[in-house]
Structure 1
Amino acid sequence: MQHAAQARLRKRQEPSRRHDGVGKRQPAREAQVTPAQQEKAVSEEEQRQFAIQRIYTKDISFEAPNSPLVFKEQWKPEINVGLGNTVNKIAEDTYELVMKVTVEAKDGDKTVFLVEVQQAGLFAVQGFQPQELDALMGIAAPNVVFPYVREAVSDLVNRGSFPQFVLQPVNFEALYAQQMQANAQQQGEQNPTVQ
Structure 2
Amino acid sequence: MAEQDSFSPTNGDANPQDGGDQPQVAALAQYIKDLSVENPSSPQVFQWNEQPQLDVQFNINVSKVGDDLHEVVLKIDASARSQSGVHFVIDLSYGGLFALRNVPEEALGPFLLVEAPRLLFPFARQIIAGATQDLGFPPLMLDPIDFAAIFMAQMEQQQGAGGALPQGEPTVQ
Unaligned runs of at least 5 residues, structure 1: 1-37, 191-195
SS of residue in 2 equivalent to 1:98 = strand
Q: Taking structure 1 as reference, are residues 41 and 104 closer, same or farther at Cα in structure 2, changes over 3 Å only?
A: farther
Match for residue 170 of structure 2?
none
Between the two structures, name the one with larger relative contact order (CA 8 Å, sep ≥ 6): 2
Deviation string for 1:126-184 (max 9, x for gaps)?
Answer: 11111101110011100111011101101110000011210111111111111111222
For residues 101 and 84 of structure 2, the distance between their equivalents in structure 1, rounded to whole angstroms, comes to: 49
> What is the aligned residue count?
151
For residues 123 and 66 of structure 2, the distance between their equivalents in structure 1, rounded to whole angstroms, comes to: 24
Matches within 5 A, 1:148-187: 148-186=123-161
For residues 118 and 99 of structure 1, the distance between their equivalents in structure 2, rounded to whole angstroms, comes to: 6
For residues 40 and 175 of structure 1, the distance between their equivalents in structure 2, rounded to whole angstroms, comes to: 38
**Partner AA of 1:117 in structure 2:** L
Q: 4+ residue runs of structure 1 moved beyond 3 angstroms?
A: 38-42
Q: For the aligned residues, what is the CA RMSD? A: 1.9
- Indicate which of 51, 57, 60 corresponds to 2:35: 60
- Indicate which of 12, 16, 19 corresponds to 1:43: 19
Match for residue 104 of structure 1?
79
**Partner AA of 1:112 in structure 2:** H
For residues 32 and 139 of structure 2, the distance between their equivalents in structure 1, rounded to whole angstroms, comes to: 21
**Partner AA of 1:72 in structure 2:** Q
For residues 133 and 180 of structure 1, the distance between their equivalents in structure 2, rounded to whole angstroms, comes to: 14
TM-score in terms of structure 1 length: 0.72
- Indicate which of 100, 111, 123 corresponds to 1:125: 100
Unaligned runs of at least 5 residues, structure 2: 1-13, 165-173
Instruction: Compare the two structures and name the one with the higher helix fraction.
Output: 1
Q: Taking structure 1 as reference, are residues 163 and 42 closer, same or farther at Cα in structure 2, changes over 3 Å only?
A: same
Q: Taking structure 1 as reference, are residues 141 and 41 closer, same or farther at Cα in structure 2, changes over 3 Å only?
A: farther
Q: Report deviation, 1:79.
A: 0.3
Q: Taking structure 1 as reference, are residues 189 and 127 closer, same or farther at Cα in structure 2, changes over 3 Å only?
A: closer
Match for residue 72 of structure 1?
47
Percent pairwise identity: 28
Match for residue 134 of structure 1?
109
Q: Report deviation, 1:42.
A: 5.1
For residues 22 and 86 of structure 2, the distance between their equivalents in structure 1, rounded to whole angstroms, comes to: 50
Instruction: Compare the two structures and name the one with the higher strand fraction.
Output: 2
